[in-house]
Structure 1
């Protein structure tokens, strides 16, 4: 595992309060695979360039989405891909992964990413919020 990957995962693990890095890695893979299907062109390539290689490849070879998912459906899709997840835990997973990706991307690129996504995704890029 590269240093960058380890550092990225540590952030996800802390933000998501995961017990193990394996749980953090699983969430990261699912969320980035779903996100990648929503991004195109230079924005996707640039975001991938800011991620550790393992995760960059997942973003660039995403699960194909037939159509852009609304934030609510993105949460449901994430829950469906993670064993034992609920919409509530999926929301937490998404916040942990996307807030870490946004930190890696920086504000300007994160704004460009959000422009390619349906309305409401800005909330998913925030830190996980305990409800």
Structure 2
């Protein structure tokens, strides 16, 4: 998928009026995701993204403090000056395209790295992680 195709998908998913507004949302959400992902998942996701989105993702320094999915949305809202509802909408529109690009295996790895409630942001069912077996 090219960046133009990604923008068209996000524009359609989010009902944004222009490609420019879709591009702005993509860069904001990819930057926020770049502050959350580390390791091989970050590298592998950057590899499957269009170059423009990958550069935004990898330009961010990962934050060491974990955020819940709701925390991710609130942080995005605070950084972009939109309401949490708009930030949630923007997140869903962009991460739907990311989900498609990542594919099921990489997406599963990404979701294992993030807190449980991120699955909903990626449009996935939120499944509970198995509890570790007692010794």
TM-score normalised per structure 1: 0.88
Bigger radius of gyration, 1 or 2?
Answer: 2
Find the aligned partners of 1:107 and 1:61 in 2 and give their Cα distance: 25
- Are residue 106 (structure 1) and residue 103 (structure 2) matched? yes
| Higher RCO (C-alpha under 8 Å, 6+ residues apart) | 1
Aligned residue for 2:122?
A: 125
Within-5 A mapping of 1:1-131: 4-83=2-81, 85-126=82-123
Find the aligned partners of 2:35 and 2:77 in 1 and give their Cα distance: 16
Q: RMSD of the TM alignment (CA)?
A: 1.5
Structure 2: tracts of 5 or more residues without a match:
125-135
Structure 1 residue ranges (4+ consecutive) displaced by more than 4 angstroms after TM superposition: none
